[in-house]
Amino acid sequence: MSSSFSTPFNTSAFGTSGFNTSAPSRPLAAYGWDDAWAAEFTPYAEQGLVPGRVVRVDRGQCDVATADGTLRADTAYVTPHDPMRVICTGDWAVVEPGGDPRFVRAYLPRRTAFVRSTSSNRSEAQILAANVDHAIIAVSLAVELDLGRIERFLALAWESGAQPLVVLTKADLVPDPVGLSYLVRDVETAAPGVQVLPVSATTREGIDILAAVVAGGTSVLLGQSGAGKSTLANALLGAEVMVVQAIRDVDGKGRHTTTTRNLLVLPGGGVLIDTPGLRGVGLYDAESGVGQVFAEIEELATDCRFHDCAHQAEPGCAVLAAIEDGSLSERRLDSYRKLLRENQRIVAKTDARVRAELRREWRLRGAEGRANGVLKRGRGVS
Ligand SMILES: Nc1nc2c(ncn2[C@@H]2O[C@H](COP(=O)(O)OP(=O)(O)OP(=O)(O)O)[C@@H](O)[C@H]2O)c(=O)[nH]1
Ligand SMILES: [Zn+2]
């Protein structure tokens, strides 16, 4: 039942009575506005500029959800040649209060970002979504688990700076609870520091737990085609809410507009970003992400006798010893190697400057989140 999803949105996110000039921060809270964003925004507020979250970017323009509803704005100032700096869905935009056209003047520094390399040969990156807190990796229980694929998505998620969460969809197709618990455990071994949650859109098992997790921030849904992402999004959103949000969007002149949004406020709290680009996202320079996915192997490696041990046949190799005693599976080590190799190929084709920038911006934050995640799971970090 969707009773738990029908409450907060209707109340006050946007008054229908017109433009709100008194308390701009309250409606924005639904979009993830917090004290830290407000602090970043202070110098712009002094210039009379307005904050808002980017819900969609088109050629040359974007839709920005502000306290006064969704505004259309020109992105000429925030579309530099550097593809990493182009404004994208999820950014907090700094918008002119009026003007024809109205311009986005800047956007606030990103906390996290999903990036994709746009082609195999050109050294170009593309920003897919900004300021994402939770990366929900949808994995279908209707087909055989592919742990390697899950690890790949996890690497991507960690690299973005977001906290991953694996959702095993279509749990109704695995009615045996013992069988299900084994599947969950298998995935958990491939996902240290990550919550693994079986859900079913059919029976609504796990949906309320998922709704509670995503209530605290901005989420994206990743996963293979057919994994159940759309179904999950609908279960979280409720069909009525999508309609309501479309109707309540107003342009700068107070007219209703009907453009589709790539960023939606969830009725149970939180924000969901669903852009076409994110749907097909692949592995991009996720070196530190890979390390996090295989945290237990990297932890073991610190006990190898040689600092640069390749875990092939070296004496005193702690990784091989773990395989020997059965505490680490060969599949896991193979998968680790495969992802590292693949990653090196991608890295070789990628602009070093872009990579350096990614690292600089997200390493600290990522390391922090990872440490927390790993500790939460009680894995051996010393
Ligand atoms: N039995 C069962 N089937 C489900 C469930 N959730 C989704 N499905 C089915 O799985 C299929 C794929 O679901 P989608 O939500 O379209 O998957 P998707 O990940 O959005 O796929 P793309 O749009 O191709 O990326 C559909 O036929 C759904 O009806 C579930 O909880 N239980
Ligand atoms: Zn070793």
**196 DSSP β-pair partners:** 166
3-state secondary structure of 340: helix
* CATH 3.30.70.580 given to domain 130-239: no
Between helix 147-160 and helix 177-189 the angle, nearest 10°, is: 50
Instruction: Give 101 Cα–ligand 1 centroid separation in angstroms.
Output: 41
The per-residue pLDDT for 285 is 47
- Residue 132 pLDDT exceeds 80: yes
The per-residue pLDDT for 378 is 37
Cα–Cα distance measured from residue 18 to residue 252, given in angstroms and rounded to the nearest whole number? 11
Mean pLDDT value of segment 187-216: 94
The per-residue pLDDT for 100 is 87
State the closest ligand 1 atom to the C-alpha of 227, by its place in the atom list counted from 1: 19
Q: pLDDT grade, residue 203 (50/70/90)?
A: very high
Complex ipTM value: 0.96
Cα–Cα distance measured from residue 146 to residue 148, given in angstroms and rounded to the nearest whole number? 5
State the closest ligand 1 atom to the C-alpha of 199, by its place in the atom list counted from 1: 31
Instruction: Give 309 Cα–ligand 2 centroid separation in angstroms.
Output: 5
Cα–Cα distance measured from residue 305 to residue 308, given in angstroms and rounded to the nearest whole number? 9
Question: DSSP secondary structure string, 243-260?
Answer: HHHHHH-B-TTS-B--PP
Query: What are the residue ranges spanned by the domains of the chain?
Result: 130-239, 287-376
State the closest ligand 1 atom to the C-alpha of 232, by its place in the atom list counted from 1: 15
Peptide bond into 276 cis (omega under 30): no
Cα–Cα distance measured from residue 160 to residue 128, given in angstroms and rounded to the nearest whole number? 10
Average pLDDT, the chain: 79
Mutation test residue for ligand 1: of 225, 231, 272, the one with most atoms within 8 Å of CB: 231
The per-residue pLDDT for 21 is 38
Q: pLDDT grade, residue 24 (50/70/90)?
A: very low
Regarding the beta carbon of 355 and ligand 1, being less than 6 Å apart is answered: no
Mean pLDDT value of segment 118-137: 75
Instruction: Give 26 Cα–ligand 2 centroid separation in angstroms.
Output: 53
Q: Please indicate if the annotation marks 76 as binding a ligand.
A: no
The per-residue pLDDT for 165 is 96
Instruction: Give 18 Cα–ligand 1 centroid separation in angstroms.
Output: 39
* pLDDT per residue as tens digits for the range 315-343: 999 999 999 999 999 999 998 888 877 76
- Residue 357 pLDDT exceeds 80: no
The per-residue pLDDT for 155 is 85
Q: Comparing 16-30, 144-158, 279-293, which segment has the lowest mean pLDDT?
A: 16-30
* pLDDT per residue as tens digits for the range 141-196: 999 998 888 988 888 888 888 999 999 999 999 999 999 999 999 999 989 889 99
Say which CATH superfamily domain 287-376 falls into: Probable gtpase engc; domain 3 (1.10.40.50)
Question: Are residues 70 and 56 in contact, defined by beta-carbon separation less than 8 angstroms?
Answer: no
Q: pLDDT grade, residue 349 (50/70/90)?
A: low
- pTM (2 d.p.): 0.74
